[in-house]
Chain A
């Protein structure tokens, strides 16, 4: 969060806003201390029902989306590190992403990092019936957990994980609400290893120029 505050201070005069959304089933109770400590002047929101992840088909955190002045997506879901706190694990340097973000804040959709519609469509996750059902199973699990029925919630969290195996959110959030080894027979780090390590967990953002002549309409 301090990283977002720093980049916001740097770019806010370019008609630029940051909206961060905490994906925490326990809402402000879990996310609040982090927000309070960061003293954000950007917009820090709480999404205790994972609504943004659901609407945008996001599978991990931090996930960033760029939205232009007209409310149009110009970069789709991607790993969005704005500082190097997790670099040891992720292997990702935040500088290229930050440079791209600054370039877009200054130049708007003329930035080489703003993607053409064609390229965006290639990268967009299509919301198929399994993904939609996974979100419903997860939402049911969250409701049951919050109404004091953790035992009954677990099979629904498992079903969400099965239907949308790409979602790390469904795994990590569920593990955080109980004892992962006892209830799911695994741990977060075991799952990351199974998937192929931190590179699979945090795929680096594609920062190749998006505005090649072939790509952009005159």
Chain B
């Protein structure tokens, strides 16, 4: 039964793929990563996965593919070697990366708006677990004049961190 389904899919894929060989369907998507929005002109949305080129990966997320894994500065996440093809593939002279597989690997929540092709990637588990060490999570935010301040600027002082809202 499984085999029947697979071959039917394969048949459909052949029909579909015919006008755009080897690339599947490419679409313009918006990715929000670390609360920064980037437009990606050519992404592949396939079966709940999101493939983007490694050039777009760097631009949208700051992460790069390195021999030791997916890295940004000192932060590196090794890609499981047995599941390599679920993360990285080469097509039409470009290297493509599956951002959904990576999000699952680092336990990053994803919210998606299918109609507007917008993908929001939330905090990774390493960013969320900081709190349980009782170390106050650091952040950098602007004041009214646009000057940036970090919580860590106040190291050496006692700080009352307090939120409010106009609403």
Contact = CB atoms under 8 A, between A and B. Distances in A.
Interface stretch (B5-13, B17-25, B138-146): B138-146
A49 B123 CA distance: 13
B162 A139 contact: no
A20 B143 contact: no
A169 B163 CA distance: 11
Contact of B135 (A72, A129, A172): A72
A66 B135 contact: no
Given A31-B166, A54-B123, A55-B137, A18 B159 contact: yes
Interface string B129-167: 111101111110111100001011011111111111111
B121 interface: yes
Contacts of B139: 47, 51-52, 55
Which DSSP category, helix, strand, loop or mixed, fits chain B's interface? Answer: mixed
Contacts of B159: 16-19, 66-67
Interface residues of A, number: 79
Given A45-B143, A72-B136, A124-B132, A23 B157 contact: no
A53 B163 contact: yes
Given A72-B135, A136-B111, A43 B116 contact: no
B142 A61 contact: no
Nearest to A105: B158
B74 interface: no
Interface stretch (A32-40, A87-95, A189-197, A202-210): A32-40
Given A80-B162, A133-B111, A45 B142 contact: yes
Nearest to A46: B142
A135 B109 contact: yes
B157 A124 contact: no
B149 A173 contact: no
A214 interface: no
A36 B144 contact: yes
Contact of A15 (B120, B123, B134, B156): B156
B113 A34 contact: no
Contacts of B166: 22, 24, 30-31, 33-34
Given A46-B143, A108-B158, 16 more contacts: A15-B157, A15-B158, A19-B149, A20-B163, A21-B141, A22-B163, A54-B123, A56-B131, A62-B162, A62-B164, A63-B163, A70-B155, A132-B123, A139-B120, A140-B113, A172-B165
